[in-house]
Amino acid sequence: NLEANFEPRFAARTKRIQASTIREILKLTSQPGYISFAGGLPAADLFPIERIGEATQRILREQGVQALQYSTTEGHLPLREWIASRVPGATPENVQIVSGSQQGLDLIGKVLIDPGSRVLVEAPTYLGALSAFNPYEPEYVSVPMDDEGLELEALEAALQARPVKFMYVLPTFQNPSGRLMGLERRRAIVELARKYRTPILEDDAYAELYFDGKPLPTLYALDHALGGGNVIYLSTTSKTLAPGLRVAWVVGPRPLIQKITFAKQGADLHTPTLNQMLVYELVRDGAWYGEQIDKIRQTYQTRCHWMLQALQKYMPEDMGWIVPKGGMFFWLTAPAGLDSLELLKKAVEEKTAFVPGQPFFADGSGKNTLRLSYSSASHEQIEDGLQRLGRAIHRMLGRA
């Protein structure tokens, strides 16, 4: 048959379309007996299944035809109004609903990136963004972070050197490092971006998942206070409702949002209508939604504490980590020379898994880093899984 006829026909960009490390590991470790810390999977035990069932029934009963028919690409207006009401200075015309923020990343890449465009990213950064941007053939500029986030001197030097198309920044519980950018650093980055007229793409997937204290202003809000127009804001219901619904949004300046809408027309016409109406039914009840998010925060704080205890118990003393103040991940730095890809093989032999750090670095560094997610693991799974990981590391380091 003619299957072999495709490979030679792949478009030039197709060689940059590679598997997502997270997705590949998820497939591997979904077999029984594995304890995986790889995917940033929201706690399934907190999915509001009952409430989703009731709301879906109600929608189908009262607005069935609208829910099942094609709908506008921009997205369900009441949902866009709800989103706009929570973003300073935004109207529904600044809001585009997308099928997961992952699609937002892809559409923004499609609209903004030419082959060779310089895209500035944190080191490490979210590997899903690199996967989304790669087919558009950017040239990445990787900027190091200190405890809080992007280092200002390195950032300014990069912006001064040559024009950057946009910078991709995760200020709140950064994936994968867990970092939380403080208010002063946020202000400084927003001001630098405006000075060099370089738009910021702010990915705020973990905005609501702070353990204590309260949320810091978004880069979008800080930019708005200085006149606005320089930040594209991405957020999602994947971590507060259910990732399988694939409902997220992009908020940004009208000229860009219009182009993203047109690009989405060519991608998937619109995000599933029923899912958008369902998300609106769930979030419009502020009391319930606030309680749902509180439950998630408390659960993740507890699971984070369990993982910290297990790390202290089972990791070699020269293994380092950042204790997150929110979000879903621990970011580990192993002794220099330890290759976390090699370690993953040993870990899988022990029936546990994590995401090796290198795919999170656009510059190919980070061999000795690894990301562990605690969000969907029970106490015993964390205890047992970290013990297995400890065994794998000690075998690798040739220690007893």
Contact footprint for ligand N5F (CB under 6 A): 20, 22-23, 26, 39-40, 100-102, 126, 128, 170, 175, 203, 205, 236, 238, 243, 248
Which is nearer to ligand N5F, 314 or 329 (by Cβ)?
329
Q: What's the min distance (Å) between Cβ of 15 and ligand N5F?
A: 21
Distance in angstroms (rounded) separating the CA atoms of residues 289 and 286:
5
Instruction: Closer to ligand N5F by CB, 48 or 89: give it.
Output: 48
CB nearer ligand N5F, residue 19 or residue 49: 19
Question: Helix axis angle, 21-29 relative to 340-349, nearest 10°?
Answer: 10
Q: How far is the CB of 8 from ligand N5F (least distance, A)?
A: 30
Host H or E run for residue 257:
helix 254-267
* Spatial strand order in the sheet of 248-251: 95-98, 248-251, 231-236, 200-203, 166-169, 118-123, 139-144
Our CB check for ligand N5F shows the closer of 194 and 246 to be 246
Nearer to ligand N5F, 170 or 382 (CB): 170
To the nearest whole angstrom, how small is the minimum distance from the Cβ of residue 205 to ligand N5F?
Answer: 4
Q: How far apart are CA 344 and CA 131, in angstroms?
A: 21
- CA–CA separation, 106 vs 239, rounded Å? 19
Residue 198: CB minimum distance to ligand N5F, A: 20
DSSP string, 187-210: HHHHHHHHHTT--EEEE-TTTT-B
Token couple for 287: 């009391």
Q: Output the DSSP codes for 123-190.
A: ES--HHHHHHHGGG--EEEEEEB-SSSB-HHHHHHHHHHS--SEEEE--BS-TTT--B--HHHHHHHH
Whole-number minimum distance, CB 284 to ligand N5F, in Å? 20
**Cβ 256 to ligand N5F, closest distance in Å?**
18
CB atoms within 10 A of CB 314: 18
Nearer to ligand N5F (CB atom), residue 101 or residue 218:
101
CB of 337 to ligand N5F, least distance (A): 26
Q: Which is nearer to ligand N5F, 194 or 280 (CB)?
A: 280
User: What number of helices (H) and strands (E) belong to the chain?
Assistant: 13, 13
